Amino acid sequence: MAAHTADPGARDLREAAHAAQVRELTAAGALDDPHWRAAFTAVPRHVFVPYFWTGRGAGHERLWSEDPDPGQRARWLRGVYADAPLATRLRDGELLSSSSQPSLMARMLEALRVRDGDNVLEIGAGTGYNAALLCHRLGEDLVTTVDLDEEITESARAHLARLGYRPAVVTGDGARGCPARAPFDRIMATCTLPLVPYAWLGQCRPQARILAPLSTGLIALTVRDAGFAEGGFLQTPAYFVPLRGATAAPAGRPGASYGDPYDLVDNERFQFLLVLTAGVLHPREALDLWRREDRPARERFGVTVTAQGQWSWLDDPGGPYVWPLGSSGGSGGGGAAV
């Protein structure tokens, strides 16, 4: 271990940076819930992000905690405690895993609406930071985190163990959930979905809550039973590493070629609608709908999941604006984003 790792001065700097992060998140309104404020206070982010990558393309640079240059170590520490997402794992230039923006993590955890005794499944282990926050709030026996990549789960398990947390860290296809640890009261995905894996519903208790990134937003579903879940989008934008695993996104979902529809309207709300209805509405149709319906915000949209399929809708699941999300039989692994 490098001498600076155990240096009391370095420890003081890390503790000061951590305390400043909690103050900033609290001042920004991201930690209104005292339970989550206590969790962020207790769990230091730097333990889970010993290094991260900056830059793009060939310009990637790694900043890490053991750099012999004190200036580079200072850059690493500033980055770790900034309210920003951090790239933590690359492969051939592709982003595989990241540590999510802390304020977004805090808002998602609050939106999960956990209660004492809830059994929680996290899809996308990432660095293990989010799982540690859940462990502090609920206890490690009630937390399961799944990721497709064994290197990611091994790393997350080691980070968690450094702070004494030993939840169930499972290597597997996140779209298949984790039947051995079911039933769950809450499922939280930290990777963008092409559609909601139907297998999750059968692993939930009635009235369970599923919170997951979909399109460029966060869908919050209430599970009625193993065959039905429904809910609306939160107003919060959300951009995560895509779900990876057994199948790619269904045909016609994000990634399909429409020229460059994002140039039609430079508006984040419209981009949400465009991605949500990709493969169903042509860009011009989406633009006409968006204008006709007074530029609807995310929270006017929702999703219904059944054994027969999945639909997104505007304002009312029984109303005139309903679009299929794609094949409900799709599967994918836990991409990592926390």
Instruction: Tell me the catalytic residues.
Output: 97
Spatial separation of the C-alpha atoms in residues 292 and 208, rounded to whole Å: 35
Residue that is written with structure tokens 């996140």 in the block: 174
Report the sign of the C-alpha dihedral through residues 61, 96, 215, 111, in that order: negative
Give me the helices (H) in 115-241, please.
129-138, 150-162
d(CA 66, CA 76): 10
Assign residue 259 a region: left if phi > 0, alpha if psi is -120 to 50, beta otherwise? left
The rounded radius of gyration (Å) of the Cα atoms in the chain is 20
Which residue, 161, 137, 136, 157, is CA-closest to 145? 157
Cα separation, 176 vs 246, in Å, equals 10
d(CA 145, CA 153): 9
Q: Which tokens belong to 25?
A: 């998140």
Q: Please compute, for residue 183, the number of CA atoms within 13 A of its CA located in the half-sphere on the CB side.
A: 12
Query: Tokens 């519903």 — which residue?
Result: 201
CB atoms within 10 A of CB 152: 24
- CB–CB of 96/156 below 8 Å? no
Q: Would the CA dihedral through 137, 114, 30, 242 be positive or negative?
A: positive
Residue 14 CA to residue 55 CA, distance in Å, equals 24
